[in-house]
Structure 1
Amino acid sequence: MAFFTVKEVKKVFTNGEVKEEILKGVNLSLNKGEITALVGASGSGKSTLLTIIAGLQSATDGEILFDGKDLILMNQEQIRKIRASQFGFVFQFAHLVPFLTVEEQLLLMLDVSETKLSKQAQKTEVNKLLMLVGMEHRKKAYPSSLSGGEKQRVAIARALIHQPKILFADEPTASLDSKRSKEVMELIRDLTKSLNITTLMVTHDEEMLPFTDQTIKMSDGLIVYNEKFMMELQEV
């Protein structure tokens, strides 16, 4: 059974008498321990779909089932609590707080997510995760002294410090060169597997697709190709 299921999700924007259908009935499923990539041209609906699944904007119709609960039926406070405790976010730019050290970035996230850990337990968790992303030796450094790849590693650690069940990544390698992009994708892949989380990623970079388990192509608000589904169909 899929861990995260999207059923007939639609999104319509209304401007006066003009209606624009951004999503036209999207269906997909996400599993634990897997990375799914959303690809497609600008305006295809992939970023809109990601933000709707992540609870950052509402859908016009459909179902979004997370752990058996429909996010579309929840109120804003219920969704906020799920985002804070169960979801992690990584974007194109790291958006680190300039006056906080690497360690403090993660400790702040633990405070925001309202975890019940003691201060010492928080520091232990921070050290463990920084070791996983290869940044433990830089925990006292400020963002201004970090490379682009290092900043993204910290951003990934910050997104995972509260142990979310799903990681949303919107163009996480777009601001990096080819070498650092592959390093960041290897890290996301390894953490997805080792932590058994679900990762949904929007990307335009086809070189990142070999690191994923499922590639979904969108066009004009619809899914036009699902690589994993087609492979499973061929095996039948």
Structure 2
Amino acid sequence: MAIFTINDVRKKFTNGEVVEEILKGIDLSLQQGEITALVGASGSGKSTLLTIAAGLQPASDGQIMFNGNNMTDMDQEQIRKVRASEFGFVFQSAHLVPFLTVEEQLILMLEVSESKLKKEQQKKEIAHILKLIDMEHRKNAYPASLSGGERQRVAIARAIIHKPKILFADEPTASLDSKRSKDVMELIRNLTKTLNITTLMVTHDEEMLAYADHIITMKDGLIK
């Protein structure tokens, strides 16, 4: 079932008298519980498409439908609330708060997402997520003491602790070696299936495509 659809989305930038069209009419549907990977050369428009889909920048034209609602008709506050409560984000760098423990990173995310869970329920949910990512034994550790792979696992846990419907992942393995990249992608795939999340991922690493349900290739602002 398509939970997220992108209809004829376009993005233009104006530099003086020059108008550059980055996205030239993109149509895309994301299925619940599946991973869709966006691939393409640098400048193909894949990262622009992901940030527009995630509500981080507006489209110049087109329509983005999420869960039956047209996001292009929403104001900034409405989009912010959707991002906080319904979306999760994983980037190339983990961006963990250096003075918070692993457990505290997840508590903070629950607060930011305006979770309705009571303290005891939060503790149970955090314990469950830490078990899923095999980090229970590191819940009191600070980011500086974690390996690169561990930090990225915590970043993924932080992205899904509030049970978002959509996970946006922008080059989630780019800063990792081959083994850790596979471990992280295995985790993303398992969580996507276990929690029935819809994942949209940008990647340049062809080995990571084996974990995707759908592969979308972009070139010059279009889907090939």
* TM-score, structure 1 as length reference: 0.94
Report deviation, 1:16.
2.3
Once the two structures are superposed, what CA deviation does each residue of 1:166-219 show, in whole Å capped at 9, x if it has no partner? 000000000000000000000000100010010000000000001000000001
Looking at structure 2, the residues matched to 185 and 215 of structure 1 have their Cα atoms a distance apart, in angstroms, of 15
Report deviation, 1:63.
0.8
Partner of 2:2: helix, strand, or coil? coil
Looking at structure 1, the residues matched to 53 and 181 of structure 2 have their Cα atoms a distance apart, in angstroms, of 25
Which residue of 2 is the match for residue 126 of structure 1? 126
Check if 1:189 corresponds to 2:197: no
Check if 1:49 corresponds to 2:29: no
Once the two structures are superposed, what CA deviation does each residue of 1:40-70 show, in whole Å capped at 9, x if it has no partner? 0000000000000000000000111111111
Aligned residues: 224
Looking at structure 2, the residues matched to 115 and 69 of structure 1 have their Cα atoms a distance apart, in angstroms, of 21
Report deviation, 1:114.
0.8
Structure 2 gaps, min length 5: none
Report deviation, 1:23.
0.2
Which residue of 2 is the match for residue 112 of structure 1? 112
Check if 1:24 corresponds to 2:28: no
Once the two structures are superposed, what CA deviation does each residue of 1:108-129 show, in whole Å capped at 9, x if it has no partner? 1111111111122111111110
Check if 1:161 corresponds to 2:161: yes
Structure 1 gaps, min length 5: 225-236
Letter aligned with residue 55 of structure 1: G
Looking at structure 2, the residues matched to 195 and 168 of structure 1 have their Cα atoms a distance apart, in angstroms, of 15
* TM-score, structure 2 as length reference: 0.99
Looking at structure 2, the residues matched to 114 and 22 of structure 1 have their Cα atoms a distance apart, in angstroms, of 34
Partner of 1:82: helix, strand, or coil? helix
Which residue of 2 is the match for residue 230 of structure 1? none
Which residue of 2 is the match for residue 76 of structure 1? 76
Looking at structure 2, the residues matched to 48 and 111 of structure 1 have their Cα atoms a distance apart, in angstroms, of 28
* Stretch deviating more after TM superposition (139-148 or 116-125): 116-125
Looking at structure 2, the residues matched to 2 and 153 of structure 1 have their Cα atoms a distance apart, in angstroms, of 27
Calculate the aligned-residue CA RMSD, in Å: 0.7
Looking at structure 2, the residues matched to 3 and 106 of structure 1 have their Cα atoms a distance apart, in angstroms, of 26
Partner of 1:116: helix, strand, or coil? coil
Looking at structure 2, the residues matched to 55 and 120 of structure 1 have their Cα atoms a distance apart, in angstroms, of 32
* Stretch deviating more after TM superposition (201-210 or 122-131): 122-131
Report deviation, 1:102.
0.2
Which residue of 2 is the match for residue 139 of structure 1? 139
Which residue of 2 is the match for residue 64 of structure 1? 64
Check if 1:149 corresponds to 2:142: no
Report deviation, 1:31.
0.3
Letter aligned with residue 201 of structure 1: M
Partner of 2:172: helix, strand, or coil? coil
Once the two structures are superposed, what CA deviation does each residue of 1:141-170 show, in whole Å capped at 9, x if it has no partner? 000110000001000000001110000000
- Runs (4 or more) in structure 1 with deviation over 4 Å come to none
Letter aligned with residue 194 of structure 2: S
Looking at structure 1, the residues matched to 108 and 165 of structure 2 have their Cα atoms a distance apart, in angstroms, of 19
Which residue of 2 is the match for residue 222 of structure 1? 222
